[in-house]
Amino acid sequence: MFRVYKIIPCKELMFGSLKHFVAGESHYYTSSESLNIMRFFKLVEDLKEEEFVKICAVGFFSESDGSFLVPLPADILFPRKGREGNPVMAKYREDYVFIKGTLEHYEYKRAYVKLSCLLKDYLHGRLDCFNKRDDNKEGDKEGILEESSILKREQKVGLGVDYESKTSKEGRLYFTQRLGVRSNYFLSILVEGKLREAESFVGAERTRAFVKDSGLYVKSLEELQNIKEGEFYKFYLLSHAFFDDSKVYINGIEFELKWIFSAGAEWISGWRKPALYMLRPGSVLVLRAKTSGNVRRLCQIEAFEGVINIIEGKRSFLDFGWNTGIIMREVNT
């Protein structure tokens, strides 16, 4: 079962990056904004109540309506330069991508959407849930939330200390920028399995945080998607993904990668782990099925052998949750 857990830290969080930081050598350190699943591997391992527990996505839980927010799909575009207007969905047509019925210029933006909206409308090629509505009409007025309306950045001042003399060191004044979450929202993770509600640690400075079950269970992610040879499908990434070929396999079914609507890419690494240049969550892959079969709605793209076993121990690259996403049939409208 897929459950959403709230992460409630005792203070703003600091997430490390690939840049080494030492007070004195540098005077300003900014927390990484990459909310990737690796930040929570240790937390999940410490609190799991079942042998097999996998983290599928990092997002935000809205206390006001009990919804789970995930990155905006990269094929949903907005009028450029802040112009007013509803979003549109870019379409793939064999050799090109086009936006139907408009000469306006559109662009992707960093934002979050309700997972329920994706499953209700986007899954079926509609954007009804995301369009702006008048106050006197029914509908979701917060279908799309810009990142700045959820995340906030806090500036903190620090001072390097000589632990032997218990005094400050000259030239060791530094500043850090931490990540916080605005009121009514909680940093959250989507997990396959069950966790204990308890205290744990999260972030580069091992900030204490309480993990609490939100009560939200997403049963529709367990539904099966029938795959037919020759048809087009979209794969919306919930976690970072890495693959190295135009051939894509999901649950043994072969697909041909035709296009990528990219939400960006970044280096992902950690202690005693190699760095991989991975697609960000929100990216959308356009796939053409080469064989037929059935896959679960939430599934994973299989990685090649060289990546499968790069993690020490018994668990593999896929067991940790990388390459996770939602598959759906491409609707040509």
Q: For 124-165, what is each residue's pLDDT tens digit?
A: 888 888 775 444 444 444 578 888 889 888 777 777 777 777
Q: What is the DSSP letter of 218?
A: -
Structure-model confidence comparison of residues 332 and 253, the more confident one: 253
Beta carbons of 297 and 219 less than 8 angstroms apart: no
Q: Which one, of 317, 329, 327, lies nearest residue 248 by Cα?
A: 327
Say if strands 253-261 and 247-250 run parallel, antiparallel, or are unpaired. antiparallel
Give the whole-angstrom CA distance, residue 79 versus residue 183: 29
Q: What is the mean pLDDT of residues 314-327?
A: 85
pLDDT for the residue numbered 136: 41
Structural domains of the chain in order of their starting residue, each with its CATH number: 2-67+148-219 (no CATH), 223-329 (2.60.40.4350)
For 325, the token pair is 């996403």
Residue 279 has pLDDT above 60, yes or no: yes
Q: What is the pTM of this model?
A: 0.86
Reduce the DSSP state of residue 169 to 3 states and report it. strand
Half-sphere CA count of 115, side-chain side, radius 13 A: 29
Strands 167-181, 28-30: pairing is: parallel
